[in-house]
Structure 1
């Protein structure tokens, strides 16, 4: 643990105001699955703070090369994600881009959905791309404005990337500086306010280190002279933005609205909810004779385990992503299995805490695997 040189936030990364302590807990550095031994796992302190304006943020940050050393494949599996990628692709295509730079392209789903509709020059900048497509150009590494020194792009696109950025001001300043010629930025990000209201545990974590409400986001955009041309909601999952550079914006008149009371209450309410829920769940686990499984080889399960869920009766963790199956969930000793193992098990109980994906997973288990499985959801 002492080998990690943490990046410290001493002031609010959005407003530069002082930070107030909210909570501290220990949590696995990585929220995915690995083949390595558990002795290689890092369990780190999560120190959550809030600014006087109400911007919740993590104080101690993990170096990016370590945080993403095992990659990041969120958004690659599931019907809801597929629907998101298609809707966002349509949102991008209707702006008629000619040459796109996608930041954090990862699994490539967005590029392939867009290129299936229209022939566009598409480039992805991404530090860890395993499966590359022939119809896409790739730049290995993190985004930096020097990419534009010998290349031209009329549109910058990113999907569920902005919430991973440690310093949004620097990120937007870099993009703003290379879009001087009327270029556009189109992006999708989680509807974080809805996620926290709905008590989704993947809202804030080592990867999502700032609570980006629409108020905070639109303050940032205006501060860097971006005007919102269109905004679209994708269920309670994501928000799509289409913005352009507008040099006429007077940045001195841009003010960050105060959300302190509202956001602090949302955060503390979620903490209290899980304390009570895990306590009652532990009572059920002590008395049941059923075979117990935990769904979600991700932060969803890690959150329950590291907040007091009794794991001695849990057989394994289930996940429908084949890339995670037969691997170990980081920060635990649990090997991941396919939910298909429930097929003949009528005496099974599944703990389900997968946020916005709960309904999709519940329906899949009941309708396609075994209708007799008992599911306890959050």
Structure 2
């Protein structure tokens, strides 16, 4: 497998990187598959930290055709629905006429914006769209990069939970700046990664989120690449909405060093999952009933990587219809709908799912009042 290797900090471009942690032979795909277990690919997930800034970044990058080989996230559930509702309102209040959306996927945000702003037109640029052009929405199957060409002028570019997936956010922000006319807007949502890491969420950094794009670092990169921050809105501890404007001013990058703080936060995450796997194994051994794991995603892959015993777990539960009866990549566990628990007498579920934990617990209690949740 071919890797590209980062040898310098994405913020300073200096060789100021220090090894932080290596997750040996971690599954390269965060999702579910129909293929046999023997075809799963694993690679070392090595993270470095910049000693001058505290930026954490993945050292070796996995080819995109492996980590995005299949769709793995339907963004299902109440938290995501509320996120899309709030972000579309955030965009809508700017009364934009012509929008280009990067990575629009299934078009759910575009549809919500147009529902409230029927005179708005939106062009979605997405390499793997699951929506076709319809009404005021035009879909272009392509990547937004230096090769992308679009002759029509737009008032704004929007994107949601895209920037943290890009391999070099600073380069991507410069491309957006070069594309937009002066005074045009860039509105976007990013995960609140510093909050996520402080709460020890494993979806903070992985083979997809390869840069610790905290709020502070995002602010720095926006100013460096010619964007004025108009406002920010917080969606709980889940996401941050940004409204920015293209200006003809570039700030020199002066960065406070977050090295000590971010290194400790990352190491705390590792220790949390080491301890959690051990605790859950002891609980499983003592429980007189079936034990299931919730979430066919990175949360469960982390627990299993750190030693959660798969032998005593009959299946993994997930709300995504597209994952049902498939196997969580890198594991032996197949996916069932949570309603599978409905008539079970003695059953427990391990729920360690970051921002979505409380929502999942509430759902499970509605399905089966007697379920034990760890």
Fold shared by both chains (TM-score > 0.5): yes
Residue in 2 that maps onto 1:117? 116
Which residue is 1:364 aligned to? 363
Tell me which residue corresponds to 1:71.
71
With over 3 angstroms needed to count, the CA separation of the structure-2 counterparts of 1:34 and 1:132, relative to structure 1, is farther
Whole-angstrom distance in 1 between the partners of 2:368 and 2:271 = 33
- Could you say which residue in structure 1 is the equivalent of 2:3? 6
8 Å CA contact retained: 1:72, 1:106: no
Unmatched segments (≥5 aa) in structure 1? none
- 1:248 deviates by 3.2
What is the aligned partner in structure 2 of residue 211 from structure 1? 212
State the alpha-carbon separation in 1 of the partners of residues 21 and 13 from structure 2.
20
Task: Give the count of matched residue pairs.
Answer: 369
2:273, 2:305 → 1: CA distance?
11
Within a 5 Å distance, the mapping from 1:34-73 to structure 2 comes to 34-52=33-51, 53-73=53-73
Instruction: Report deviation, 1:66.
Output: 2.5
1: CA distance between counterparts of 2:108 and 2:306? 34
Find the aligned partners of 1:334 and 1:282 in 2 and give their Cα distance. 16
Which deviates more, 191-200 or 276-285? 276-285
Match of 2:13 among 8, 11, 16: 16
Partner deviation per Cα, 1:7-26 (whole Å, 9 max, x = no partner)? 11001112223211011112
Deviates more, 1:86-95 or 1:112-121: 112-121
Give 1:241 deviation, angstroms: 0.1
CA distance in structure 2 between the aligned counterparts of 1:131 and 1:149, rounded to whole angstroms: 20
Partner deviation per Cα, 1:64-107 (whole Å, 9 max, x = no partner): 233212134352x1011000000000000001111111111112
**Aligned counterparts, 1:1-378, within 5 A:** 4-17=1-14, 18-25=16-23, 26-52=25-51, 53-75=53-75, 77-119=76-118, 120-132=120-132, 134-135=134-135, 136-249=137-250, 251-252=251-252, 254-366=253-365, 368-376=366-374
- For residues 347 and 132 of structure 2, the distance between their equivalents in structure 1, rounded to whole angstroms, comes to 40
> What is the CA distance between 1:300 and its match in structure 2?
1.0
- What is the CA deviation profile of residues 152-191 of structure 1, one whole-angstrom value per residue up to 9, with x for unaligned ones? 2111000000000101121011111112332110000000
Are 1:62 and 1:206, in contact at CA under 8 Å, matched by a contact in 2? yes
Of stretches 78-87 and 98-107 in structure 1, the one that deviates more from structure 2 is: 98-107
Report which stretch shifted further, 138-147 or 48-57.
Answer: 138-147
Shift of 1:273: 1.5
- Residue 203 to residue 226, structure 1, CA distance change in 2 (3 Å): same
Q: 1:343/1:329 Cα in 2 relative to 1: closer, same or farther (>3 Å)? A: same
Secondary structure of 1:323's counterpart equals: helix
SS state of the match for residue 315, structure 2? strand
Q: What are the Cα deviations for residues 218-251 of structure 1, in whole angstroms up to 9, with x where unaligned?
A: 11001101010010000110000000112134x2
TM-score (norm 2): 0.96
Question: CA–CA distance in 1 between the matches of 2:104 and 2:38?
Answer: 31
The question of whether the paired residues in 2 share the 8 Å contact of 1:148 and 1:178 is answered with no
